[in-house]
Amino acid sequence: MKSVQNGILAERVSYEIPPNTVDYHQFNLQCINGERDPSNHGSNWDIGPITNVEPALELFKFIETKDLYKDKLLGASVQGAIHDIGNEGKISDFVWSQLKKLPNK
């Protein structure tokens, strides 16, 4: 059993890799397990599964039109929402109030 952080990619990402090339690209994953240390470049990880947890799907749909990088403090509320979902099964009212302040793309 792996004891490192579990992560989830909260934003839809499209990244094209040209044929016959090797490329490295950093994706900004959100940590799911609030009580675990973040992973690092030496951590082992597995791909999948995609979640079907309703509060997570609601969050992902909401942030599709939001700019998560214009205001880094507000953007960090996505991490708070992921922790809420992982720990409580829902997003707290406070975190929702912060998410609603995110500017549109």
Alpha carbon separation from 32 to 17, 38, 98, 100 (Å, rounded): 28, 10, 19, 21
pLDDT digits (tens, 9 = 90+) for 74-105: 988 998 999 899 889 999 999 999 999 999 99
pLDDT over 90, % of the chain: 38
Q: Which backbone phi and psi does 31 adopt, to 5 degrees? A: -75, 135
Predicted pLDDT at 96? 97
pTM: 0.69
CB 51 within 8 A of CB 8: yes
Spell out where the chain has E strands: 7-8, 30-31
